[in-house]
Amino acid sequence: MNDPVLETRHRVIFGDNKRMLDIENESVHLMITSPPYPMIEMWDKQFRELDDQIDSLWHELEEELNNTRRQELVSRIYDAMHDDLAKVWKETHRVLVDGGLACINIGDATRKVNGVFRLFPNHVRIVEQCEKIGFFTLPYILWKKPTTKPMYKGKGAFLGSGMLPPNAYVTIDCEFILILRKGSPRQFKRKDPTRYASRYTKEERDRWFTQIWEVIGMKQYLSEVEKRVAAFPEEIPSRLIRMFSVAGDIVLDPFLGTGTTLKVASELSRNTIGYEIERRFRSLIERRFNEVHTGKSAKAELEFIYR
């Protein structure tokens, strides 16, 4: 179905995505990413390492004994994490073409702070930050994960007399795929051949342009590194790329991780740019890319840049 663009170019930049100096203004057509999720424990360390303000607030929290002050400090850490991510959304806005789209996969977080169960609605914060930057919010997708156990007082299981109201919490079994646009819809020539060659089927349209997606994670097939970095299943970027870009476009993933977006986009004849802070992922990214391109006639060039 997709136009066989014969040559594509793929750049992985190992460096901080808050200043994407390798990318010109208004040169990217689509951004797809999944950032570290604020207030999800597995990402605490990396947020601290990459942002001094977050680290010093965390030190204060470790010293603080007063419960009210501790709750306030956690709220300030949460704010600071979103201020940190907002720098990437701002850079994304700069590099997107007019009509370019940003798709952000994000989950909300729950956490107990001094015995108090709290929800950190990350998707709300990202929408608010992006609107301040100048993005327009479009209808979003709820990615429904296979259901885990319902929550009782913050624990992933019913405890004791688990049918009694009112203290159980709704289980978080969806993540969000936020869809935001810079400016007005992209313009194309009438009957643009690349656009027509990139079209999806009616059946695909009916399945994809609906608000709830049940895409299975396939955790059992992921390597340890992919699990550790919470890689998304290929089906997620694959659908988004086909829905929101045409062959030959440039797709950016500023939190590239193990290179899922790059692999899938290159397979779909899109050019890519990815930013990643962890240099150790190079061999995995390269291996996944080669799985797709070795022995194929379409030329796909992969380049690693260190900043």
Ligand X SMILES: C[S@@+](CC[C@H](N)C(=O)[O-])C[C@H]1O[C@@H](n2cnc3c(N)ncnc32)[C@H](O)[C@@H]1O
- Residue 230 as a binder of ligand X (CB under 6 A): the answer is yes
Burial 229-260 (b: 16+ CB within 10 A, else e): bbbbbbbbbbbbbbbbbbbbbbbbbbbbbbbb
Residue with tokens 């993540």: 175
Candidates 127-135, 216-224, 256-264, 294-302; binding stretch for ligand X (CB under 6 A): 256-264
Interface residue with ligand X, options 5, 12, 31, 36 (CB under 6 A) = 36
Interface residue with ligand X, options 95, 231, 247, 300 (CB under 6 A) = 231
Half-sphere exposure of 106 (CA within 13 A, CB side): 23
Interface residue with ligand X, options 80, 104, 141, 229 (CB under 6 A) = 229
108, two tokens: 């909300």
Residue nearest to ligand X (CB): 257
- Residue 50 as a binder of ligand X (CB under 6 A): the answer is yes
Candidates 66-74, 127-135, 210-218, 252-260; binding stretch for ligand X (CB under 6 A): 252-260
Candidates 29-37, 109-117, 182-190, 240-248; binding stretch for ligand X (CB under 6 A): 29-37
Interface residue with ligand X, options 8, 122, 129, 258 (CB under 6 A) = 258
Residue with tokens 């947020």: 47
| 119 vs 218: CA distance, rounded Å | 27
- Cβ atoms within 10 Å, residue 209: 12
Degrees, nearest 5: CA angle 136-140-146: 155
- Footprint on residues 275-304 left by ligand X (CB under 6 A): 275-278
Interface residue with ligand X, options 17, 122, 129, 272 (CB under 6 A) = 17
- Residue 232 as a binder of ligand X (CB under 6 A): the answer is yes
Please, what is the minimum distance in Å from the beta carbon of residue 177 to ligand X? 12
Cα pseudo-dihedral 55, 56, 60, 63, rounded to 10: 70
Total residues contacting ligand X by CB under 6 A comes to 20
Candidates 15-23, 179-187, 191-199, 264-272; binding stretch for ligand X (CB under 6 A): 15-23
Extract the runs of DSSP E, i.e. beta strands, from 158-278: 168-169, 174-181, 212-213, 250-253, 271-276
Please, what is the minimum distance in Å from the beta carbon of residue 86 to ligand X? 12
| 249 vs 228: CA distance, rounded Å | 30
- Residue 89 as a binder of ligand X (CB under 6 A): the answer is no
Which residues, in sequence order, are CB contacts of 55 under 8 Å at separation 6+?
A: 48, 49
Please, what is the minimum distance in Å from the beta carbon of residue 197 to ligand X? 27
268 in Cβ contact with 241 (< 8 Å): yes
- Residue 83 as a binder of ligand X (CB under 6 A): the answer is no
Summarize as ranges the residues that interact with ligand X (CB under 6 A): 16-18, 34-36, 46, 50, 229-232, 255, 257-258, 260, 275-278
